[in-house]
Amino acid sequence: MIPAPLRSDEDRALAALRALQVLDSPPEPEFDALVRTAALVCGVPVSAISLIDAQRQWFKAQVGLKGLDEAPRETAFCAHAVLGETVFEVPDARLDPRFADSPLVLASPHIRFYAGAPLRLSGGEHVGALCVIDREPRQLDDQQREVLQQLALAASQMLEGRRALRIERHAMAEASRAAALLQHSADAILSIDTQGLIRRANAAAERLFGAAPLQLRGRSHDSLVPESFRAREQNNRQALAAGEALSHESERLRLDGQRLLVSVTLVAEHDLDGGEIGVTEFIRDITAREEAAQALALSAERFRSLSDCVPVGVFQVDRGGQSGYTNEQWRQIYQIAPAQVSHETWLSRIHPEDRERVRQASQRSQGGKEPFDETYRVVWPGGEVRHVRSRAQELQSLRGEPLGFVGMVEDITERRVFEAQLVQARDQARAAAQEALENARLLRNITDAVPGLVAYWRRDLSCRFASRSFEEWYGRSREDMLRLSVPDVLGPEAYERTRPYLEGVLAGQVQTFERSIRRPDGRLGQMLVHYVPDTDARGEVRGIFAVASDVSSLKTAQRELQLAASVFSATVDAVMVTDAQGLILSVNPAFTAITGFEPADVMGRSADVLGRDDRALEAQAREALRTQGHWQGELWRRRKSGEAFLQWLDLSVIPGDPLTGAEERQLHVFSDGTEQRRRDERLQHLAFHDALTGLANRSLLMERLGRLLGQTHRERRELALMYMDLDGFKAVNDSVGHAQGDALLRQVAARMSTLVRDTDTLARLGGDEFVLLLDQAAGPQELELVAGRLIEAVSQPMVLAGQSVVVGVSVGIARFPQHGRTVEGLMRAADLAMYAAKAAGRNCWQFAPDETPLAAS
């Protein structure tokens, strides 16, 4: 197989995937519903939401892949789907070289068809695919592709919405923890709105002011402040309005009128948009002077405890500018160990470009000239840069003397990102909700457009949804359907026949069956029905997806196909169907009988498996097929055993149909013509050869001589004839019998054959007469040499029936054109020369006289 290349933004896509915090999370019903809908709409048994990690694909949701949670990325079809923007479709994986040898194709889950739509996040990252899979070759139609893309879009939005929801829940949890921390604080804490009314008070505040629970809520803050201090408190609030934090000593009034000397820290409260919504007042009772040291130590301890719990860094600086106290969060923000805390170390952590600005702001804040409130960058020892906001307020004694500074620092790096993400998540959630409504309307339109019947039945068999085609089939309105149950719609008889399938799907098993259903108008239709269970996160069935298709026309076509298949299997001629590229798609039993190849040997292979012995003729056949759509002829092929056979082939094209998606096919119908060809060749051989000796007969000799004489008109050729008659053959034949005489003739023929060239023709005319035709014969001397060898070979003794016998041969030689210019002329000239040789004493040769009137004719 061919693994998919990496995404062009691989690192960014992997980072986006991990930021979703979804990998290896438990199943969620929203995603499960998406894959079930995809499988239902596309009519496939398998669907999944696959997320492409660095080394694997992980399934957030799947149906039809029981027990399979992930697979190696190198074998993943979805690794190809994430590379594009539209549906990636593989009609038949076995015919696709990228996947033909994939373990997912050759073994479980035996993928033949795959289609996947990429999961694209709002930032453009492709993190996975929503795919549908079948174990049979097929293709989606345009509506199914559109639905698959819409479902993939919904899955992408749900992934991002899921993350936004987690962020919001985290923020709420942090707020809850902060509220619990304040409620249990040992210091009195009041939250005061912009009108000066107390919104919240912790238990310590209620104890401090002698109030019952909730008694302080809604009370004016001024009622707890002596009148002489109220103007100062207003000044403090004005300072907070400018964004300052303020700590000071003041007095407060208990509800019973007792005055309390307190230490107060004011912190401004703001909403997410930075608007002022009030102040938080931290109050510590310092009334008992004799307990001042103990109270101060206790207060400091409480302050440290509170500081260590709050999510900000808290620090205190003495009058000389040296660090006095820092909490753990402060040290974490600046990455400074407790033993290394100092003013110089703090400055060294500030980014060089911000350091001078921060140092000058720190100097300006001394003496109470202006508050310290700066946002700047901090560089950690490892080089990482963080953004912080630091605020400090001068501490004064009751007499107004400066005591130092107290402040806090906040790492706002994540908060900046978080706030932006929170706003984005809110917008995305709203968009997702709107998109969900649009998707619901789209799904209703899709199911109404689907030619089949689509419905959803609750577990109690009441109707939750029915498509328009379902309503029209049963003659019910949408309002009627939502009030009816399965027994009401089907009727008693049909319901009883359907009940076993309903029980099966409610047990969690997909049900597929055929049913004859009569419409309200009386027409009977053949329906293919699918019941698919809808399960919750615990695996319990909560409803039934029902899809029914009218297959009446398909059943008729099926019967016709079965008839065609019977003819295909029963015909005595071999039938082979290939695609336009010559790959074998189907063969019949006669094909196996003729070639020896079983269907499994050839399916999916090239038709060249039968051999290609005549490429030129095959090229002519392909050209005729391309231009005329048909070809007939003979080709030599090879059986599985390697044996050659003659194929009498009728080859034609079955055109494709773009409307139905049917592809072009080639139909090969052939029979075995090997034996017939051999019979024909034997008959032809017998017609032109002597039956006794196997030499050429008179007919073949005359044909070859005539052809060579015809060629002399176009080119110069030297021809010669040797007419031979055995000497003494009759006496031998009479003494040993005709059977031995035939054996003698065969031996003579064999001896002569060893002395002639392949270009010459040796023929027996009958009896003991032989003729040798020499093409491009040499001069007389060479002809005399050949005649002498023939005489010598024939004259050697032969053993017949236990007797040694000897015969001779008389040879007459005629040359073209000296002794004759025609077939008859040359034959007569050679015959006369042979008789001259017999008259000269036999067992010798004689040349014909030059150009006698008799020979020239």
With respect to residue 681, please indicate whether it lies within any of the assigned structural domains.
no
Give the rounded distance of the alpha carbon of 651 from its chain centre. Answer: 36
Q: Which residues contact 431 (CB under 8 A, 6 or more apart)?
A: 157
Are 65 and 120 members of one domain? yes
Tokens of 659: 């409307």
With respect to residue 632, please indicate whether it lies within any of the assigned structural domains.
yes
CATH number of the domain at 114, please: 3.30.450.40
Are 697 and 640 members of one domain? no
With respect to residue 775, please indicate whether it lies within any of the assigned structural domains.
yes
Size of the chain in residues: 857
pLDDT, block means (10 residues), the chain with 857 residues: 89 93 91 92 94 94 90 93 94 93 91 95 94 95 93 93 75 63 77 87 89 88 88 77 71 90 85 78 77 57 71 79 80 89 88 91 76 90 92 76 82 81 83 75 70 85 85 79 85 87 90 78 77 90 87 70 68 86 88 90 86 78 85 86 84 82 84 75 72 89 89 84 93 86 92 91 92 88 93 92 89 92 92 94 91 44
Residue written as token pair 């993939």: 152
With respect to residue 428, please indicate whether it lies within any of the assigned structural domains.
no
Are 759 and 704 members of one domain? yes
**Cα 225 to Cα 220, 256, 262, 626, distances in angstroms:** 10, 13, 11, 104
Tokens of 201: 């008070």
Are 735 and 842 members of one domain? yes
Tokens of 28: 């969620």
Tokens of 255: 């509800």
The predicted pLDDT at position 735 comes to 83
The predicted pLDDT at position 853 comes to 46
Question: What secondary structure, in 3-state letters, does 63-118 show?
Answer: ECCCCCCEEEHHHCCHHHHCCCCCCEEECCHHHCCCCCCCHHHHCCCCCCEEEEEE
pTM for this structure? Answer: 0.30
Residue 216 amino acid letter: L
Give the CA radius of gyration of the chain.
Answer: 54
Residue environment code for 487-519, b if the CB has 16+ CB neighbours within 10 A, otherwise e: ebbbeeebbeebeebbeebbeeeebeeeeebee
Are 476 and 592 members of one domain? no
Task: Judge contact between 542 and 536, C-beta under 8 A.
Answer: yes
Q: Report the alpha-carbon distance of residue 711 to residue 716 in Å, rounded.
A: 8
**Residue 376 backbone phi and psi in degrees, to 5:** -155, 175
With respect to residue 852, please indicate whether it lies within any of the assigned structural domains.
yes
Q: Report the alpha-carbon distance of residue 801 to residue 817 in Å, rounded.
A: 45
With respect to residue 440, please indicate whether it lies within any of the assigned structural domains.
no
**Which of 649, 673, 697 lies at the terminal end of a domain, its last residue?**
673
Q: Report the alpha-carbon distance of residue 572 to residue 797 in Å, rounded.
A: 58
Range of the domain at 602: 571-673
Residue environment code for 718-745, b if the CB has 16+ CB neighbours within 10 A, otherwise e: ebbbbbbbbbbbeebbeebeeebbebbb
With respect to residue 169, please indicate whether it lies within any of the assigned structural domains.
no
**Cα 573 to Cα 201, 292, 579, 640, 853, distances in angstroms:** 99, 116, 20, 18, 63
The predicted pLDDT at position 727 comes to 93
Are 462 and 515 members of one domain? yes
Are 391 and 351 members of one domain? yes
**Which of 673, 705, 725 lies at the terminal end of a domain, its last residue?**
673
With respect to residue 682, please indicate whether it lies within any of the assigned structural domains.
no
**Which of 629, 647, 673 lies at the terminal end of a domain, its last residue?**
673
The predicted pLDDT at position 713 comes to 78
Tally the domains of the chain.
5
Q: Going by DSSP bridges, is the β-strand pair 845-847/808-816 parallel, antiparallel, or unpaired?
A: parallel
Are 308 and 378 members of one domain? yes
Task: Judge contact between 631 and 647, C-beta under 8 A.
Answer: no
Q: Which residues contact 647 (CB under 8 A, 6 or more apart)?
A: 610, 634, 635, 636, 637, 670, 671, 672, 673
**What are the helix (H) ranges across 535-612?**
552-570, 589-595, 599-602
CATH number of the domain at 726, please: 3.30.70.270
Are 644 and 756 members of one domain? no
CATH number of the domain at 515, please: 3.30.450.20
The predicted pLDDT at position 847 comes to 95
Are 700 and 845 members of one domain? yes
Are 50 and 152 members of one domain? yes
Are 355 and 241 members of one domain? yes
